[in-house]
Chain A
Amino acid sequence: MDLNTVVEIRDGRHPAPWRPGDAWLGGGTYLFSEPQPHLRRLVDLSRTGWTPVRRGPDGDLEIAATCTIAQLSRYARGLGAPAAPLFEQCCRAFLASFKIWNMATVGGNLCNALPAGPMTSLTAALDGECLLLAQDGGRRRVRVTDFVTGAGRKDLAEGELLRSVTLPARALSCRTAFRQASLYGLGRSGVLVVGALDPLDGSLAVTLTASTVRPVRLWFPLAPTAGRLRAAIEGAVADDEWFDDIHGLPRWRRHMTFRYAEEIRRELEGGPR
């Protein structure tokens, strides 16, 4: 929709003092989808020229905030890593269609900080780390699980920019398992659970999103028993942290989370293949 209070588009390549009413413009698929009467200027990131996805010499994967979902999906198809299938699974977990993938960005999805954000699911599950650039030029790194702190809440200061997310090579070598539940067929996630089994040490990470108000990543040095997994989830998610919104009753989300976590534990039980 038209954002009628916006009076200026600024080019993100040319820094200017941040003002109230400024917002970073990534793909625009969120900003243009709801009224934003508080906004006056959009700082356009589309001309930054950042490489969408880059594999570093150490095997780490750096995903630019401006990387579109379509670019990530295409890249992952050629990504020779055990965790590669998880990328497409998470892309497909978007409520939005492939047309939105052409515009929506990985950074935008993370910064929306919605429990059902599938790029949060992907990057949290693969132990991602955000690179944040402050207005004063300062840089800091925050793990994705610490970046998204609640439904719509994130560790991002006024004017601070999410530059990229880096997934460590070790995580990319994991064997993954994915489960998603929605109230509707191909609908918005009410529950999204990812398992990542490290082939080197046999450790297992189970990451809960969509059913919880923030991403919860549980790490087990050795694959846990069903009971230990369940206890770990119960210990990690407080009663009021099961997300309560129109996309599923908290009790159902909790139930489905346990169910899927256990399914994932069993699926990955066989160890590295």
Chain B
Amino acid sequence: MRVEVNGRSHAEEPRPGQCLRTYLRERGWFGVKKGCDQGDCGACTVHVDGEPVHSCLYPAFRADGRAVTTVEGLAPADGELHPVQRRFLDAQGFQCGFCTAGFLMTTAALDEDKLADLPRAFKGNLCRCTGYRAIEDAVRGVTNVEEPAPGEAVGRSLPAPAGPQIVTGTARYTFDLDVPGLLHMKLLRSPHAHARIVAIDTAAALRVPGVHAVLTHHDAPERHFSTARHEHPEEDPDDTRVLDDTVRYTGQRVAAVVADSEAAAEEGCRRVEVTYEVLPAVLDPEEAMRPGAPVVHDKDAATARISRPEANVVGEAHGETGDVEAAFAEADAVYEDTSRTQRAQHASLETHGAVAWFDEDGRLTVRTSSQTPFLTRRALCALYDLPLDEVRVVAGRVGGGFGGKQEMLVEDIVALAVLRLRRPVKLEYTRAEQFYGATTRHPFTIAVKAAARRDGTLTALRLRVVANTGAYGNHGPAVMFHSVGESMAVYRAANKRVDAYSVYTHTVPAGAFRGYGLGQVMFAVESALDELARRLGLDPLEFRARNVIGADEPMVTPGGHEEDLHIASYGLDQCVAVVRRAQAQTGAGAPAPEGWLVGEGAALAMIATGPPGGHIADARAALLPDGSYDLAVGTAEFGNGTTTVHRQIAAGELGTVVDRITVRQSDTDVVRHDTGAFASTGTVVAGKATLRAARALADLLLDLAAARLGVPRAECRLGEEDVLHPGGRLPLKELYAGARAVGVECAADGHFGGTPRSVAFNAQWFRVAVDPGTGEIRILRSVHAADAGRVMNPMQCRGQVEGGVAQALGATLFENVRIDAHGRVDTAAFRRYRLPQYADVPRTEVHFMETADAIGPLGAKSMSESPFNPVAPALANALRDATGVRFTELPLTRDRVWQALDPGAR
């Protein structure tokens, strides 16, 4: 074998069944990513003799005698970037960046014909973050990033600091490092939806050459925990063991095999002999709640924090304000139906996984693809009785999260193996495992009944919500509670009632997912209100506008009032106005094909700018000897762009340019604590800590400068590299040296506890055309209004909105984790689970509201989860408008739409 990779020759023989992707990565070419390992996502695209191929499908031995180019070799040797790399930087055609190498290598191979047909050219490349508009901009040479200017960072579209690394394939994600002596773990998973493990014989597995250990429930701690990560662990039920003697869903881990190679670990898994006593399983949550149904967790309710274990109810909420039944009796119009949302997968391009080792000081170090390094450390310490200072958890750049990584799904078992073997161990999920061995969005059934008076006053809203949380409770109760919060509070109705249940079934667990339950319930509520307005002969948008809460009104839910939640800025009226303008522009958007039905629809959404119960962030800003700054934050970067925003906030306070600020992050060593990058807190909570740290540092530096110069502090101000004062400039380098000489450290801390909180608003509007003969839906125009407060970085915030709309369109139109009659996931690959492709996503016009929040840092509000939430109901409302048929079940695939519209098929 002799293969030339980026001009370097490699002579090592590949293994017979090895693909080129792993051959390249084993030689250190980490720019070649594993998104799916099945040829579907394109993240591993390389050029072989100039032809673009998916290296995960390319037999490595066939590269013999050929020249391979990876993203690391795309740029010419003169140190300049390849034009395609330059354009992806200028447009910021990425968010998490995990798919970017594949897009770069594909784009670089497009000829004129293919450039003219990008939807087809990008059939083999998936991006989960951007919604593709930014990628189109990159291909077309549009520049979106702005030049940094001293002290003027906030509100500008400054580029992500990691951009140059992302486009050159040198950004380091979880597995992009070489760990000497690394062992590999593979998991044996349950073939049954419910079974007791009677016996496990590991002898044959241990005889496989290269196998070091086989871990079973005998090796696991007895104690139960929750894989969900929250600041307060007691929010989540303790129902999970590292390895259990009962399996509760097909795909649950049964044993872990650790070996010198993945091949040996896989062989070990095949040799583990498990004797199961198969038990009856229940897959449907309504059935699970009935008396006599198989019990998923026969546990003590109080100890495990399960509401009613015998009824499979892990959490429930009941409440009423006013008297809904009386209101229904008095109403002029009542509408009632039942909506259903399906399971969806986060599908971050980087899979779950962790690599862990003991460092030279004997500390357990876990490098993981996580949104919550600090909480994961805490959980590991609790699980294995380790002191906090003996465990370090680090996230590299994370390749997408969407809530899926607010969970400890791998670190526990990897840590167990490292503690046992005292050797570095890695576990990297396959794409298939992401589907059956991780978590999903919660499938919901929502029975809604709403009533109004003829004058358009919404008088009553009643919900019965059943969320299927699967075999483990993790985020179940919290998602259920959140789902009926802002979705009900945003409307003023005097009478509200809720009965909500989070229910165990023997299916793959559901977990945190962008929107955290709100999107599911808003689909039902926003659909029902649309229908109610129609019954009254009112314009659905007007009806909503009349019944949403105003800026000074209380947010009332039947579950009770949240004391720390405030409307600290109000842009909902502006959101409605954006939709009205879109409605009025009848000529805008694509024309409808002849013979198709046309309709339009809107939906509103409100979301708290952080989770209840507090969300902690620490930050530390420091002046460095060279006069530049170091900013340490706990929050993780997974494409949400918070690193960019944190630099902007700090640069604004410190009067400098972002390039002079280096951010260290997502490492339990760099700050005291950070609850994590979830619940849309990266800017509003962690950013506030950064603001406070930077402001405190600025104060300190000005104090020091004033004292040293003997001038009033008010006459000093911070410049790019100096303190500016009436007599001239004091270089920060000198200030640092002077302070150091007298033992003063030029550093300051910032802290925010995540409370009080505000609310953000969104509205989505679609005009669609529907072909009744085929069921095809075409989006003619898409408009989104986002009340993000003061927008820190318009380019990035727009990207968040576009990405949220795109992801929501996937969940609205086709994404579906299907489970068969035996509880097995039937869609464990991207070719079976359709993600929105370039061709699927229309361009959305994004409008920001003119608001400034009184709580958020510099007036900012969150804008990560919320754009997702109004999309499905807006589309269903448009479809209703076009066809006259109310669709209450997602996804709206062509076959089902046709079936509902075809008179003969119904």
Contacts and interface: CB of A to CB of B under 8 A. Distances in A.
A and B interact: yes
Interface of A: 1-9, 25, 27-29, 32-34, 37, 39, 42, 44, 46, 92, 95-100, 102-103, 181, 183-188, 190, 246, 248-249, 251-253, 255-256, 259
A210 to B, nearest CB: 13
Given A185-B840, A259-B773, A6 B16 contact: yes
B108 to A, nearest CB: 12
B39 interface: yes
A3 B58 CA distance: 11
Given A2-B18, A7-B16, A33-B39, A181 B774 contact: yes
A33 B40 CA distance: 9
B527 to A, nearest CB: 22
B interface majority secondary structure: loop
Closest 8 CB pairs of A and B: A97-B124, A6-B17, A3-B17, A252-B895, A4-B263, A97-B123, A249-B895, A1-B37
A100 B54 contact: yes
28 contacts: A1-B19, A5-B263, A8-B16, A28-B62, A29-B39, A29-B54, A32-B58, A32-B59, A33-B39, A33-B57, A42-B16, A42-B17, A98-B52, A98-B123, A102-B51, A102-B52, A103-B57, A183-B893, A183-B894, A184-B814, A184-B834, A184-B837, A246-B816, A246-B826, A248-B894, A249-B899, A252-B899, A255-B902
A32 B19 contact: yes
A246 B17 contact: no
Contacts of B775: 252
A interface majority secondary structure: loop
A9 B1 CA distance: 13
B581 interface: no
Given A186-B120, A186-B837, A246 B53 contact: no
B122 interface: yes
B773 to A, nearest CB: 7
A46 B62 contact: yes
Nearest to A47: B62
Nearest to B110: A98
Given A183-B834, A246-B818, A97 B125 contact: yes
B420 interface: no
Interface in B46-60: 51-54, 56-59
A182 to B, nearest CB: 8
A260 to B, nearest CB: 10
Given A33-B38, A186-B123, A103 B45 contact: no
Nearest to B102: A99
B15 interface: yes
Contacts of B829: 34
A109 to B, nearest CB: 13
A98 B17 CA distance: 24
Contacts of B125: 97
A97 to B, nearest CB: 3
B839 A185 contact: yes
A151 to B, nearest CB: 14
A96 B813 CA distance: 21
A28 B57 contact: yes
A7 B61 CA distance: 13
Nearest to B818: A246
B106 interface: yes
Contacts of A190: 895
Interface string B819-831: 0000000110101
B832 A185 contact: no
B120 A4 contact: no
B29 to A, nearest CB: 16
Contact of B56 (A1, A8, A183, A248): A1
Contacts of A5: 17, 263, 267
A46 B121 CA distance: 26
Interface string B90-102: 0000000000000
Contact of B905 (A6, A103, A183, A255): A255
Interface in B834-859: 834, 837, 839-840
Given A6-B16, A246-B818, A188 B831 contact: yes
Contacts of A249: 895-896, 899
B124 A96 contact: yes
Residue among A28, A95, A185, A190 with most chain B CB within 10 A: A185
B831 A102 contact: no
Contacts of A103: 53-54, 57-58
B678 interface: no
Contact of A251 (B261, B826, B831, B905): B905
A247 B894 CA distance: 10
A2 B262 contact: yes
A102 B53 contact: yes
Contacts of A34: 38, 829
